[in-house]
Amino acid sequence: MKKIVKVFVLLILISSLAGCWDATDLEELLIVYGLGIDISNDNPDQYFFTIGFPTIIPEAPEKKHEFSTEAPSLGRAKNNLQQKVYRQISYDNIRVIIFSEEVAKQGIMVHIDSMLREPLFRGTTRFAVAIDRAVDMLTMEPPVSLFISTFLFDSIEQNYEATLVPITTLRNFSHEYYADGIEPAMPFICYGADKTELNVGCVALFQGDKMIEYFSGDNSRAFMLLRGEIHGGIYTFELMDGFVSINLKGGSGKIKTELINGELHIYHDIFINCVLSEHTPKHEMLSANSIKALETQLEEKIKKSLRNALDILQNELKNDNIGYGKYVKANHPEYFDGESWNDQFAKAIIHVNPTVRIRALGVTP
């Protein structure tokens, strides 16, 4: 009897080996790499969703393909898109999501709910705003990469390392959206000389989930310095009737806050390490005094640039994308008002003080 029971139990256990009979192989999945969200041209109440994916099958005429659909929400769009393809669509490996400027200005939280709710949707999926339509960007042929989504993903990384744009993922957008004392920001992608050239060097500024402005050029680098996201990249200045370039080598920021006579003072020290990579004015630099003088000049220039970015944020936009509010909340909880922090930020007196340290001069004196 015991043997019969054992054989029976064994048979039941063996049946579990067939548990994968209906598993979906990777080749049977349509793995989405990039998602673009636009306002529909035909129907402005609807959105236009585009997915880009590799075709995987060796015999396929193209190595990648895109599908688009019009829908009121991402959930509906997923359903519509599934009807257009013969493979099961997987959104779990999306590398980058592009919002058109128009969508970003309307608010993007309505699309993000579906992403946050889906357990396998990557928290590290990168966000960016496109100056034009996202569908155009997702269907373009990148000059040096097979997939535009991979190209954008890597470009964001490179420009982040060059201290030009932040990396904004699903997870940290959600954090900056919900947390008091900081407003979200993300890379803003423009076209270069023509529509075959992309420029990932601008920063889209958000208030809540709505884009309100973007920074470009020196302002976007100043924004990164203010955020303490100092990595690398070449920073060029016009000085002494010539050009001076420094190669950033990391740095840090230190924020202190103080209430003086009911006024909020924010002291922001920024430490920048760099090496000299270009110095066209003909000066001998191999002396402590020359380096000190150059550092002082660079500090003044950088301070002006930081001040300019801060003026836009404080006076024009009244929007704290830097995150000073988190420090004020931590240091002066009795003063900090989460609901009207942006107004408090606009009135705050910010003392920004960059310190430049030239660590090396290159191999010429």
Residues that bind another protein (CB under 8 A): 22, 116, 119-120, 122-124, 171-172, 174-175, 177-180, 326-327, 329-331, 333
The DSSP bridge pattern shows strands 210-215 and 198-207 to be antiparallel
As given in the structure block, the two tokens for residue 220 are: 């976007």
Smallest distance, Å, CB 109 to another protein? 11
Q: Smaller CB distance to another protein: residue 234 or 330?
A: 330
Type and span of the H or E element at 16: none
Smallest distance, Å, CB 80 to another protein? 21
Smallest distance, Å, CB 254 to another protein? 12
Rounded CA-CA distance 31/185 in Å is 28
Smallest distance, Å, CB 332 to another protein? 9
Smallest distance, Å, CB 253 to another protein? 12
Q: Smaller CB distance to another protein: residue 115 or 202?
A: 115
Q: Smaller CB distance to another protein: residue 31 or 190?
A: 31
Q: How many CA atoms lie within 13 A of 233 on its CB side?
A: 24
Smallest distance, Å, CB 89 to another protein? 15
Q: Smaller CB distance to another protein: residue 122 or 307?
A: 122
Rounded CA-CA distance 118/35 in Å is 15
Smallest distance, Å, CB 53 to another protein? 18
Query: Considering only CA atoms, which of 205, 161, 174 is closest in space to residue 310?
Result: 205
Q: Smaller CB distance to another protein: residue 177 or 271?
A: 177
Rounded CA-CA distance 357/71 in Å is 53
Smallest distance, Å, CB 180 to another protein? 6
Per-position b or e across 241-268, b if 16+ CB within 10 A of its CB: eeebebbbbebebebebeeeeeebebeb
Question: Could you tell me which residues are beta bridge partners of residue 203?
Answer: 187, 215
Residue 232 dihedral angles phi and psi, to the nearest 5°: -140, -155
Q: Smaller CB distance to another protein: residue 286 or 330?
A: 330
Q: Smaller CB distance to another protein: residue 109 or 293?
A: 109
Smallest distance, Å, CB 330 to another protein? 3
Tell me which long-range contacts 233-236 makes (C-beta under 8 A, separation of at least 24).
233/161, 233/162, 233/163, 233/164, 234/162, 234/277, 234/278, 235/163, 235/274, 235/302, 236/278
As given in the structure block, the two tokens for residue 95 are: 């590398």
Q: Smaller CB distance to another protein: residue 12 or 363?
A: 12
The amino acid occupying position 81 is L
Q: In sequence order, which ranges of the chain are alpha helices (DSSP H)?
A: 2-15, 74-84, 101-106, 109-117, 134-139, 148-161, 170-178, 218-226, 288-311, 324-331, 341-347
Q: Smaller CB distance to another protein: residue 195 or 332?
A: 332
